[in-house]
């Protein structure tokens, strides 16, 4: 198989903003012009765009007629519908959205966007958090503090992260009630509209977005089951797809693969960069996370990726 097949490259976006400064230059938010430029580059570089499901089934059957790119969005940001949908329609391509399903019903936002929002909204020029003083007078200082706090919180258990976010809000003198977030997650009605538009379909991305390697077996089973239940009721009759939160090699394990297999999940996506030449490791598909500085021509034209993809 491998030697004759064309590759499937999966690109992983998150939220879409009008201007990257709106998200303090956070890696997870690209502006709408970057998305458009990326999709344009795909065809200029001689690749074709296909929906993820179609791309995967053609790859499995060895029928990909050209090197192929599929587009995904993690975390279900409403901005993907508001800003991304038009761009996808321009290029006539379908994208798969991976939802952290509990956020669809509870109206809450993801912790890392709470950090960005809090740093943008506060009137303070400096503050103390966890015994450390931070200066946030200039834009550059806010960008740096956002990165530092996210890096620290990312390795904690989800319950501890929630407590830290409350602590951060009080350190920044912010009242969080009744704030409509620009980083909102789509609700159930949004999801149904997105499905019926024909531009999007859905996969599961856990329930609470907790990193799987930090959970015990019972917690992990509940997370994955809850997420898959919601996605199967949303996308009836479609094979189930999954994307691991964070998705690096250390963020999931074979325990996850066993639970996914038991639930008849077809494939799972990582954020391990690389080209896919086959679906043999169907619970470890490779994917490039795209940030505002990611150069698509590096992702699609580098012989390094072609070579590495052949080795597995």
Spatial separation of the C-alpha atoms in residues 124 and 281, rounded to whole Å: 49
Name which position in 25, 26, 75, 223 contacts Zn ion (CB under 5 A).
Answer: 75
DSSP state of 195: H
The token pair that represents 89 in the structure block: 């329609």
According to the binding rule CB under 5 A, does residue 26 interact with Zn ion? no
Identify which of 85, 90, 171 has the alpha carbon closest to the alpha carbon of residue 134. Answer: 171
Residue number, 25 or 75, with CB nearest to Zn ion: 75
* 24 conformational bin, left if phi > 0, alpha if psi -120 to 50, beta if neither: left
Cβ-closest residue to Zn ion?
74
Q: Which is nearer to Zn ion, 196 or 250 (CB)?
A: 250
CB of 205 to Zn ion, least distance (A): 6
Residue 245 or 274 having the CB closest to Zn ion: 245
Stretch that binds Zn ion, among 158-166, 183-191, 244-252, 277-285 (CB under 5 A): 244-252
Selected range binding Zn ion among 55-63, 74-82, 89-97, 227-235, rule: CB under 5 A: 74-82
Q: Which residues contact 213 (CB under 8 A, 6 or more apart)?
A: 250, 251, 252, 253
* Number of residues in contact with Zn ion under rule CB under 5 A: 3
Using CB under 5 A, which of the segments 68-76, 137-145, 228-236, 285-293 binds Zn ion?
68-76
Q: Say if CB 17 and CB 23 are below 8 A apart.
A: yes
| Contacting range for Zn ion; rule: CB under 5 A; set: 150-158, 239-247, 262-270, 290-298 | 239-247
**How does DSSP classify residue 110?**
-
* Residue 47, both tokens: 């690749």
- Least distance in Å: CB of 200 to Zn ion? 16
For 250, counting Cβ atoms within 10 Å of its Cβ (0-12 exposed, 13-18 middle, 19+ buried), the class is: exposed
Distance in angstroms (rounded) separating the CA atoms of residues 287 and 88: 19
What are 188's two structure tokens? Answer: 């159930």
In the bound state with Zn ion, the residue whose beta carbon lies nearer, of 38 and 74, is: 74
Among 26, 74, 201, 223, binds Zn ion (CB under 5 A): 74
Closest CB to Zn ion among 68 and 146? 146
Q: Is 154 helix (H, G, I), strand (E, B) or coil?
A: helix
Neighbours of 125 (CB within 10 A): 10
Query: Cβ 123 to Zn ion, closest distance in Å?
Result: 30
Q: Does residue 181 contact residue 109 with C-beta atoms inside 8 Å? A: yes
Stretch touching Zn ion by CB under 5 A, among 137-145, 213-221, 240-248, 271-279: 240-248
Stretch near Zn ion under the rule CB under 5 A, chosen from 124-132, 135-143, 186-194, 238-246: 238-246
Helix axes 111-121, 139-154, angle to 10 degrees: 150
* Closest separation in Å from C-beta 184 to Zn ion: 15
Tell me the closest approach of the beta carbon of residue 45 to Zn ion, in angstroms.
27
Chain positions 175 to 204 lying near Zn ion, rule: CB under 5 A, are none
Write down the least CB distance from residue 157 to Zn ion, Å: 17
Q: How far apart are CA 294 and CA 296, in angstroms?
A: 6
Q: Do residues 295 and 11 touch, judged by C-beta distance below 8 A?
A: no
- Cβ proximity to Zn ion: between 110 and 300 the closer is 110
Q: Report helix, strand or coil for 257.
A: helix
Nearer to Zn ion, 64 or 186 (CB): 186
Nearer Cβ to Zn ion (75/190)? 75
Site residues (CB under 5 A) for Zn ion?
74-75, 245
């Amino acid at each position: 198989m491998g030697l004759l097949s064309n590759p499937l490259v999966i690109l992983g976006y998150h939220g879409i903003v009008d201007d990257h400064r709106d998200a303090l230059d956070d890696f997870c938010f690209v502006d709408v012009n970057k998305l458009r430029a990326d999709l344009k580059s795909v065809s200029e570089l001689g690749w074709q765009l296909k929906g993820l499901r179609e791309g995967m089934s053609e790859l499995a059957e060895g029928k990909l007629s050209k090197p192929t790119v599929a587009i995904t969005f993690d975390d279900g940001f409403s901005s993907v519908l508001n800003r991304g949908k038009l761009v996808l329609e321009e290029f006539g391509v379908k994208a798969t959205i991976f939802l952290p399903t509990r956020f669809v019903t509870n109206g809450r936002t993801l912790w890392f966007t709470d950090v960005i929002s809090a740093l943008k909204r506060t009137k303070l020029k400096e503050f103390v958090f966890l015994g450390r003083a931070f200066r946030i007078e200039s834009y550059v200082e806010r960008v740096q503090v956002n990165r530092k706090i996210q890096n620290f919180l990312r390795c904690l258990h989800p319950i501890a992260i929630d407590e830290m976010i409350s602590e951060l809000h009080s350190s920044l003198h912010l009242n969080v009630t009744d704030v409509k977030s620009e980083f909102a997650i789509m609700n159930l009605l949004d999801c149904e509209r997105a499905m019926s538009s024909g531009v999007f379909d859905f996969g599961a991305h856990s329930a609470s977005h907790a990193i799987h390697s930090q959970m015990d077996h019972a917690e992990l089973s509940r997370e994955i089951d809850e997420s898959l239940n919601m996605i199967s009721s949303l996308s009836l009759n479609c094979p189930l797809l999954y994307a691991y939160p964070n998705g690096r090699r250390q963020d999931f394990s074979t325990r996850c693969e066993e639970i996914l297999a038991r639930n008849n999940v077809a494939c799972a996506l990582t954020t391990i960069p690389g080209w896919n030449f086959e679906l043999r490791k169907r619970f470890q598909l490779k994917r490039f996370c795209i940030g505002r500085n990611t150069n698509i021509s590096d992702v699609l034209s580098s012989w390094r990726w072609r070579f590495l993809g052949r080795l597995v």
